[in-house]
Amino acid sequence: MSAIVFMAGFAAAWWVMGLGLQAPVGQLAVGPVVSVAMILFARWRLRNVPPASSARAARSRRIIGWALGGEGVAIAVVSHLMVKAGLIAFIVPAVAIIVGLHFLPLAKLFQVKIYYVAGALITLAGLAGLAVDAPHRALVTGLASAILLWLTCAYRLTFEHRSPAPLPVA
């Protein structure tokens, strides 16, 4: 459930970032509304899934913490360097590339194959964002990343009929 909440929450953020805060409120609201609906559906869909053991949950939180921490540091460093180099227009696509790449080790560690697909496609969305003109970079990257995260949530909720596979014992 927490993976769905994280992905849906970040999908809403990508949506808003892609449209930009100058977009009409109705358009901006679509992202958060879709994400809240996804989270509510996940609560309903996973209502009978037993909670993970405390040891498994603790290990999962540790892995997620390291992954998000590493991702956050990479985003901060790359963003800082891009600002210093005068490449501000490339920050959003660069962030998408980092986000996409962070899914790849998570796919292996949590044995969730769809994360390989999500990671590759979000990385490609970032690369596509680098290729379009500056006024459309955030739009292309942000909306593509949001939609890909929502599709990843939907896939997991639709096709994974059990809780994620147990983590390998270290």
- The DSSP secondary structure of the chain, one letter per residue, reads -HHHHHHHHHHHHHHHHHH-TTS-HHHHHHHHHHHHHHHHHHHHHTTTSPPPPHHHHHHHHHHHHHHHHHHHHHHHHHHHHHHHTT-GGGHHHHHHHHHHHHHHHHHHHHT-THHHHHHHHHHHHHHHHHHS-HHHHHHHHHHHHHHHHHHHHHHHHHH--SSPPPPPP-
Tell me the pTM: 0.86
Q: Say if CB 119 and CB 102 are below 8 A apart.
A: yes
Contact 4, 39 (CB under 8 A): yes
93 close to 131: Cβ distance less than 8 angstroms:
no
Interval 92-130: pLDDT, tens: 999 999 999 999 999 998 899 999 999 999 999 999 999
pLDDT tens readout for residues 5-17: 999 999 999 999 9
**N-term to C-term CA, the chain:** 24
Percent of the chain with pLDDT over 90: 66
pLDDT at 161 over 70: no
In this structure, the number of other CB atoms found within 10 A of the CB of residue 91 comes to 20
